[in-house]
Structure 1
Amino acid sequence: MTPRPMNLQKRILSAVALSAAAALALSGCGRSDGGGGGGEGSEGVSASPGITDETLTLGVTTPLSGGTAGPGTCTVAGLAAYMGAANEAGGIEFGDGKTRTVEIEAFDDTYDPQKALSNFQQNNGNVFAFTSGLGTPTNRAYREAAIDSEVPQVLVQTGDPIFSDREESPWQLGFVPIYQNEGEAFGELLAGTDEDLTVAILSQNDDYGEGYVEGFKEAIAGSENIEVVSELTYEATDTSVDAQLTELAGSEADVFFNAMSITPLVISAIEKSRELGWSPSWFLPSNTSSPVAILDPAGADAEDGFYSVSFAKAPQSPAYAEDEDVVAFLENLEQYAAEYTTTPDFPHCMWSYMVGATLEEAFTTMTEPTRENFMEALRSIEDLQAPLMLEGTSVNTTEDGQPAVSTVVVQKYNGAGYETAESFE
C-alpha cells in the first residue's frame, strides 16, 4: 500500500456548524432529486449533489487536449495522485464522522470557454464541487453559472483576483497567487538593483496578461532606473508571435517581461529571440517556466538569465531528490495518475497535489454533507504547510481578496532547474 502524502501538518480549525434552521433554509438549493449522489444525512440534513455517506465526487474542467494540454493534464494528475493515495489508505474521515473516498471526474475543455461552460452545465448536478481546472477565460466562462447554481468552483488554477473576492464570487476561491502578485515580485527584484535597465513587455491580451503587467508596473513605479521602452500584446488564439518578437527585439531592451500562457508560443518566443540575436534577461510566469517542458525544448541558455516565481518544490531539482514530500509525490503520481501523466513537467502537477491536501483539510472539518458547510470549512484554513510547498509559503484561505496561496519566491534558472534569486544579476 502506498503511504499517504508526507509532511502534511494538520491544524485544528474551528468549524462553526450552521444552526438547524439555517441549515434547512440553505440546503434546499442543494437537495438532490436523484443521480447526483445527494440524500438525507444522519442528522436529517439534506446532502448536496455529489456526496453520499461513502463517496464525494469532484469535477475538473480543464484542457486535456490542444496547446495547453500539458499543464491541463497536470491539473488533474496531481489531484488524482493525492486522492488516489488517500483512498488507498482507507479514505478521508470527514468532520461529520463519515469516512469517504473521493472520486474525480475530469472533462476536456481544450482551453475553450464555451466548452468549459458546457462541461459545467452538463455535470454540475452530479459533482459536489468543481476544482483545480486551468485557465482564466475557461474558469470565468462558468463563474456566473456556478454562483447562480450555488456550486463551489474552488482552488482553481487561475490568478484572476475576482475568484478570491468573497462578495463578487461567494462560491469561488482561487488557489495560485494572483497574477499581480507574480508580476509585483519580479518588479521588486528589478527595483532592488542599482543598474539602469530597459524593459520590453509582451502580454496576453486578457485579464491574465493585464494582471501580470499591472503588478510589475506598480512595483517599478518609484524606480528611476527601470524604464519600459516597448510594450505589445498577443491573442491567446494566435499561432505565432514572431512579428511581436521582431519589434520588441528592435528595442534592444535589457529585460523581457513575457506574460504568456500558451506553451508553444513561449517556446517559439525564446527561439525567435535567439534567431534575432536578442539576449535579454527573461521573466516567465510560473505556469510557463518549466525547465523540462519550456526551456529545454527551446534550447534556452541559462546565461541569458531566466527568472520566474514559485511556491512549489521542483521534483526535477537535485536539491529535492531525497525530499520526503517529493518522494511520496512521485510514487503517488506513478501509481494513481498514469491516465493523465506520471512526469511532472509542469508546476500544475505539484499545485493540484497541494489542492488535494487543501481539500482534505476542509473535508476533515465539514460537519454537514452540504456545499454551504464545505465553503465555510474551506474558508477557515490558516497556515497549512501542504506537501511540496517551499519554505516561506503556505495555504491561507481566510483573507478576502487573496487566493489560497498568495506568497511566491523569485527563482533563477541555473541550467538544470531553479534556485532562489537573492538579487537580479
Structure 2
Amino acid sequence: MLPCNRTLARLLQTIFASASLLLGASSQAEDGITDTEIVWGSSVPLSGPNAGYGPIGRAQRACFEYINNDLGGVKMGDGKTRKIKNLMYDDAMEPARALQNARRLISQDHVFAISGNAGTGANLGARPYYNQEKVPQVFVFSGGPMLGDKENVEKFPWTMPALLAYNTEAALYAAFIKEKFPNAKVALFNDDSGGPFFAKGFVKAAKDMGLNIVIHEEHTYSEPTIDAKIDRIAASGADVFVDATTPKFVVQALKRMAAINWKPNHIIWGVGSSIGGALQPAGTDVSKGIYSGIWLKDQANPAFANDADMKLYVEQLKKYESGLNPADQNAATGWFVCQAVKSVLERTQKPTRESFMQAARSMKGQKVALLLDGITLNTDGSMDGYPIESVQMAQFDGEKFVPVGAIINFEGKTPAP
C-alpha cells in the first residue's frame, strides 16, 4: 500500500502545482503585465465620419513601437523594463462599438490599461465598464468636464482625460472675445458629442461677460452636410464665429464660408483645428486667420524645427507610421499620449493597475514630449482630475499657428460641470 500512497501523494502534488500555475497564469493574464511585457489597448475611430481622429491611435502605436524597438521598453518604478504590446480596435467613435471594444480588450485580451480613446460619448459609454473592471482608462481624447471633476473622479477613479476641459476652453475663448472683440455679434456652432459641454460653458461665460450670442446651431455626425446651417449662421450677421466640431465638419464649414464669401473672425476649438487634419484639407488660403487654443508644439512652425522632441517625433513617425502627416495635431496628440503613459509607467512603483493610477493621480509639473514650454501635467487625486489646465491662444497665418499673448494658466480653476 505504501508505494500506492506515495504515488497518490506525488499525483496530488502535481495536481496542486498545476492548479497553482494555472491560477497564477490567469491572474497574470487578467493584470495584463509580466516582468517583461505590458498589454495595452486603445479604441479609436479608424473609419466613419470621425476617422480624422484615427491618427491619435496610429501615432500612439508608432510611439509604442519606438519605445520597444529603440529604447528596449519602458523602465518602470519597480526597476523592471517592459515592452508594450499595443492592441488597437476601430470604434468609429460610436458608443456601442466603444463598449464592445472595451469588453473585448478586457475579457479577451486582458489588457493592463487603455489610453488615447477618442470621443466624449464613446468614452462615457465605456467608462462604467472600465471602472467596474478596475482597468485604467487614461489620457482619453476628450475634454468632457465630467471626466475630471471631484465627484466623477470619486465615482469613476479609473478614468482620466488628456485634454483641457471643454468648459474651461470655452470660458477662455469667451474672455478672449471680450478682450479682442468686445462689441461682437457671436455665432456658436457645435456637434452633438463633446460640443454640448463646450457650448454650455461658452453660453454661461458669455452671459457673465455680457457677450452677444445672436445664433446657436448644433449638428449631428449623421448629417452629410452642414452647408444649410452655415448659411443660416452667416445670415445672422455674426462677425465672430465660434466653431466646436470635428475635423470633417470644420473642413465643410471653411469651404462653405469661402463659397458664400463670409469672413467673420473665426475661432475653432482645439480638437477641430489641426493644421494637417483640417486646415490644410480645407485650403490654407481659406483657413488663414483662424484662432484656436493650442497646448502642443506645432510641427509646421519653423521655431520648433530644431526642437529635440519634435525632431524625434517626426523622424520616428516616418519610420513606424509613414502614412501620417506630422503636421496633423491628432498625430502629435497620439505621440503625446504615448509619452504621457511612459512618464506615468516610469513612476509606477508596483506592477499593478492600482499603483499605475496612483502615479497618474499624483503628477506634479510633469514635462512630456511635445507639450508647449510652460505647460505641464498636474493632478492631485480627486481634488484635481484634469492633467492639462493651460492653453496658448494662437492664430493661423496660412502655415503655422502664431501665439497671441502669453500662455493662460487655469491650474486648479476648472469650473464644475
* TM-score, reference length from structure 1: 0.84
Q: Look up the match of 2:222.
A: 237
Cα deviation for residue 82 of structure 1 reads 2.8
Q: Look up the match of 2:180.
A: 193
Contact 1:48-1:369 within 8 A present in 2 as well: no
Cα deviation for residue 90 of structure 1 reads 1.8
Which residue of 198, 202, 205 maps to 2:192? Answer: 205
Confirm whether residue 408 of structure 1 aligns to residue 391 of structure 2.
yes
CA deviation vs aligned residue, 1:241-291 (integer Å, no higher than 9, x gap): 122111111112111111112x22211111112222321111112121122
- Aligned-partner Cα distance in 1 for 2:386–2:65: 25
CA deviation vs aligned residue, 1:55-101 (integer Å, no higher than 9, x gap): 001100001122222322x2123322332222222221111221111
Return closer, same or farther for 1:297/1:121 CA change in 2, 3 Å cut-off. same
Q: Look up the match of 1:179.
A: 166
Trace 1:226-305 onto structure 2 (pairs within 5 A): 226-261=211-246, 263-301=247-285, 305=289
Confirm whether residue 151 of structure 1 aligns to residue 135 of structure 2.
yes
- Aligned-partner Cα distance in 1 for 2:97–2:125: 9
- Aligned-partner Cα distance in 1 for 2:227–2:342: 45
- Aligned-partner Cα distance in 1 for 2:228–2:63: 43
Contact 2:379-2:387 within 8 A present in 1 as well: yes
List gaps (5 residues or longer) in structure 1.
1-30, 40-46
Return closer, same or farther for 1:381/1:419 CA change in 2, 3 Å cut-off. same
Which residue of 202, 206, 226 maps to 1:216? Answer: 202
Contact 2:288-2:398 within 8 A present in 1 as well: no
- Aligned-partner Cα distance in 2 for 1:119–1:129: 13
Cα deviation for residue 159 of structure 1 reads 0.7
Cα deviation for residue 303 of structure 1 reads 8.3
Instruction: Indicate the RMSD between aligned Cα atoms, in angstroms.
Output: 2.2
Cα deviation for residue 33 of structure 1 reads 5.4
Q: Look up the match of 1:9.
A: none
CA deviation vs aligned residue, 1:389-415 (integer Å, no higher than 9, x gap): 112211112263542212111111111
Q: Give the match's secondary structure for 1:253.
A: coil
Which residue of 62, 65, 77 maps to 2:47? Answer: 65
Letter in 1 for 2:172: A
Q: Look up the match of 2:307.
A: 323
Confirm whether residue 384 of structure 1 aligns to residue 369 of structure 2.
no
- Aligned-partner Cα distance in 2 for 1:113–1:259: 20
Query: Which range moves more in the overlay, 62-71 or 309-318?
Result: 62-71
Q: Look up the match of 1:82.
A: 63
Letter in 1 for 2:169: E
Q: Which has the higher helix share?
A: 2
Aligned identity (percent) is 28
Confirm whether residue 111 of structure 1 aligns to residue 93 of structure 2.
yes
Return closer, same or farther for 1:35/1:349 CA change in 2, 3 Å cut-off. farther
**Equivalent residue pairs, number:** 379
Return closer, same or farther for 1:96/1:195 CA change in 2, 3 Å cut-off. closer
- Aligned-partner Cα distance in 2 for 1:412–1:215: 22
Letter in 2 for 1:81: A
Cα deviation for residue 296 of structure 1 reads 2.6
Q: Look up the match of 2:401.
A: 418
Q: Give the match's secondary structure for 2:232.
A: helix
Cα deviation for residue 346 of structure 1 reads 2.7
- Aligned-partner Cα distance in 1 for 2:22–2:205: 49
Q: Give the match's secondary structure for 2:236.
A: coil
Which residue of 356, 359, 363 maps to 2:338? Answer: 356
Return closer, same or farther for 1:32/1:331 CA change in 2, 3 Å cut-off. farther
Return closer, same or farther for 1:376/1:317 CA change in 2, 3 Å cut-off. same
CA deviation vs aligned residue, 1:338-367 (integer Å, no higher than 9, x gap): 4xx432243222222222222222212222
Confirm whether residue 314 of structure 1 aligns to residue 303 of structure 2.
no
Confirm whether residue 371 of structure 1 aligns to residue 353 of structure 2.
yes
- Aligned-partner Cα distance in 1 for 2:230–2:25: 52
Cα deviation for residue 127 of structure 1 reads 0.7
- Aligned-partner Cα distance in 2 for 1:405–1:379: 12
Cα deviation for residue 169 of structure 1 reads 1.5
Q: Look up the match of 2:414.
A: none
Higher Cα radius of gyration: 2
Q: Give the match's secondary structure for 1:221.
A: helix
Return closer, same or farther for 1:346/1:403 CA change in 2, 3 Å cut-off. farther
Contact 1:197-1:255 within 8 A present in 2 as well: yes
Letter in 2 for 1:212: F
Contact 2:99-2:122 within 8 A present in 1 as well: yes
For CA contacts below 8 A with separation 6 or more, give which structure has more relative contact order: 1
- Aligned-partner Cα distance in 2 for 1:404–1:298: 31
Q: Look up the match of 1:17.
A: none
Q: Look up the match of 1:160.
A: 144
Contact 1:258-1:283 within 8 A present in 2 as well: yes
Q: Give the match's secondary structure for 1:231.
A: strand
- Aligned-partner Cα distance in 1 for 2:181–2:41: 49
